[in-house]
Amino acid sequence: MREIDLKGYFLSEFDEHEIVAKATREGMAEPFERLVEISVESVKNGGKLLFFGNGGSAADAQHLATELTVRYVTDRAPIAALALTTDSSALTAVGNDMGFEQLFARQIEAVGRPGDVAVGISTSGRSANVTAALRKAKGLGLRAAALSGRDGGDLVGLADPLLLVPSATTARIQEMHITLGQILCGALERRLGLV
């Protein structure tokens, strides 16, 4: 068994988290505000938010869609949101019959409508199924938005707004994605006059 300085490791992880959190706070206000605005416009006009991603980003998609459809702070009217990561039959059928790259694009084609907001989540910006879905969304008249990290990868120029966490560490990017997502939920409740 390898010996490590647990206290040192613990503190260094928090140090890195604080640095990334501060940089995210300083650089994300404008794209975050745009995400809130397009989401409010969509919901007010009968649209919905569609969240999707892989692995930890899939979990974030489910988390955020649930916060919006059920409740975030207090009981209130639901906000229309779906996670495209939860239907195991659809995921396995698309993966098997059409290929993993089409996993979310096919669902966007089925349930997305012009004016909806497609929110892809990819820490690297290089998830082929996320970029394919955002391309499909744009082609169908949805708004294509994303949360990413590092250099944004293939999402740069595709997603607008693109909330790009200034870090190359997957764990830190994921921490900021769920933080930004939680703030999005709270902002939508308030902007829609639900709380």
Distance CA 183, CA 185 (A): 5
pLDDT of residue 1: 82
Distance CA 54, CA 129 (A): 9
Distance CA 119, CA 43 (A): 14
Interval 57-81 mean pLDDT: 97
pLDDT tier, 13 (very low <50, low <70, confident <90, very high otherwise) = very high
**In contact, 132 and 105? CB cutoff 8 Å:** yes
Q: Looking at this protein, which amino acid is placed at residue 122?
A: S
pLDDT of residue 161: 98
pLDDT in tens, 93-132: 999 999 999 999 999 999 999 999 999 999 999 999 999 9
Interval 26-46 mean pLDDT: 98
CATH no. of 29-191: 3.40.50.10490
Distance CA 163, CA 95 (A): 28
pLDDT of residue 147: 98
**In contact, 161 and 35? CB cutoff 8 Å:** yes
Q: In what order do the strands lie in the sheet with 81-83?
A: 81-83, 49-53, 117-121, 143-149, 162-165
By percentage, how much of the chain surpasses pLDDT 90? 97
By percentage, how much of the chain surpasses pLDDT 70? 100
Q: Where are the domains of the chain?
A: 29-191
**In contact, 81 and 64? CB cutoff 8 Å:** yes
Helices within the chain (DSSP H only):
6-27, 29-44, 56-69, 88-97, 103-111, 128-139, 170-191
pLDDT of residue 78: 98
Cβ within 8 Å of residue 141, ≥6 positions away = 113, 114, 115
pLDDT at 52 over 90: yes
Of the candidates 147, 136, 143, 132, the residue with the CA atom closest to the CA atom of residue 58: 147
pLDDT tier, 2 (very low <50, low <70, confident <90, very high otherwise) = confident
pLDDT of residue 77: 97
Of the candidates 13, 5, 19, 35, the residue with the CA atom closest to the CA atom of residue 148: 35
pLDDT at 184 over 90: yes
